[in-house]
Amino acid sequence: MDLKNLKQHIKTLATLEENDDPVISCYLNVEKGLHNSQSYMEQRIQWIEKSIFGSQKHSFEEALKVIDNRLKNVDLSQVKGLAFFTRGGKSPFSLELRFRVPLPNEFIVETTPSIYRLVELKDTYYRYVFVLSTEESGRIFEVNYGEVTESVWVERPELRKRIGREWTKEHYQNHRKNRTEKFVKEKVKILENIVNSGGYTHIVLVGNAKMTARIKNELPPHLQEKVIDALKVSEKEKLNAIVAETLNAFVNQEQQESLEAVELLQKKIYTDGLAVVGIPACLKALQKGQADMLVLAKEFKEEDKREELVKLATQTGCKVELVEDSYRLMQYDGVGCLLRYRSPETY
C-alpha cells in the first residue's frame, strides 16, 4: 500500500455519501492468524444484532456477508492488518485494504465509515528512504508501512587489478577519484528520483562515514533538508539490524516534529492569532475550511469527536499531525488547529 493510494482511500471514505444504511468499519489484527480477530468479530456482532432492527438489520447482514466472503479467500502470507468498509442496502459499498503492519481489532457500525485508524497509520507509521553506502557499492531502500524494498544497487567496477599492468599508481589514483565522484553523483541522481516519485520526506544515510559525508555534500538543498541522520554502520552488520537503527532515527525525528507542531500552535495563539484550541473552536475552523493543520493528541478519548475532526480535516484538505505524550496539548483538551487565515470578526 503506497502513500498515494492510502490517501485516496481515506478521501473516498471521508466523502462517502451518507444514508440510512449502516456502514461496517472492520479493522483486524491478523499478525498471528485469523482466529483471535474472528472471535472478536463474532462477539461484537452478537451485541450489535441485539440492537439493530428492520431494514437496517437487513442491510447490516448484507454488508456482513461481504466481509465473511472476503475472509474466506484472503491470503495472509504477507498481511498483518486488514480493514474492511462495507455497506448493504440501496447504495452498496465495499472496500478492502491490506497492510504489512498490524492494526488494532475494531468493529464499528455507523452511517459513515470510521477512518481514524487509517489517518493514524498514514501519519505515524514509518515511510522513509535510507541509503547504505560503502566505497564500492550503494544500496537504496524504501521503507513503506512495514515493507522494506531495495530500490537499486549501484556498484563500482573493479579497478585495482589494472595497477602495474596498464596504469601507473598515480594514474589509478586520479582515475579512482574521478570514478568516485561519478559514482556519488549517480547515487544522488537515483536517490532524487526515488524521493520525488515516492513523495518521501525523510532520508537516512547509513554506512561508511566518509561516503555518507560525500553523499550529503553532493545532495541538492531540497534533499539535504530531508536528511534526518547519518549513521556509521559496519559493512558486516545484518540488514535487519540496520533497518532497526534507521527506524529508531526516524521515530525520534517524527516525535520531535510532532512536538514542534504543538510549540507552533502555542506560539500562534500568543502572537498573530492564527490558531485555535479546544473541540468547539477546532470543529468550527474545520467546517469553515479555515484550518491548515489539525494537531490532535493520541490520548484524545472522545471517539465520536475524534472521528468528526479527522473526517472534516480530510474533506477540507487539512493536514493532520498526531502527537503523543504532550502535556501542553492535553491542556487544550487534546486538540488545536493552525489556521490559514484569521476569522473576519477578529479584525
The answer on pLDDT for 153 being more than 90 is no
The answer on pLDDT for 190 being more than 50 is yes
Q: Are strands 275-277 and 203-207 parallel, antiparallel or unpaired?
A: unpaired
**Mean of the pLDDT values across residues 181-192?**
84
Q: Are strands 81-87 and 23-29 parallel, antiparallel or unpaired?
A: antiparallel
3-state secondary structure of 273: coil
Task: Mean pLDDT check: name the lowest of 15-24, 90-99, 125-134.
Answer: 125-134
pLDDT digits (tens, 9 = 90+) for 57-99: 999 999 999 999 999 888 888 888 999 999 999 999 999 999 9
CATH no., domain 17-112? 3.30.960.10
> What is the rounded CA–CA span in Å between residue 344 and residue 293?
19
Q: What is the residue whose three cell numbers read 448484507?
A: 62
Domain assignments of the chain as residue spans, ordered by start? 17-112, 125-237, 257-346
Q: Indicate left, alpha or beta for 207 from its phi (over 0: left) and psi (-120 to 50: alpha).
A: left
Task: Please give the C-alpha separations between residue 31 and each of 82, 105, 225, 251, in angstroms, as whole numbers.
Answer: 10, 11, 36, 22
Please, which residues bridge with residue 25 across strands? 85, 108
CATH no., domain 125-237? 3.30.420.60
The model carries a pTM of 0.80
Among 102, 56, 106, 58, which Cα is nearest to 85's? 106
> What is the rounded CA–CA span in Å between residue 333 and residue 328?
9
Q: Under CATH, what is the fold of the domain 257-346?
A: 60s Ribosomal Protein L30; Chain: A; (3.30.1330)
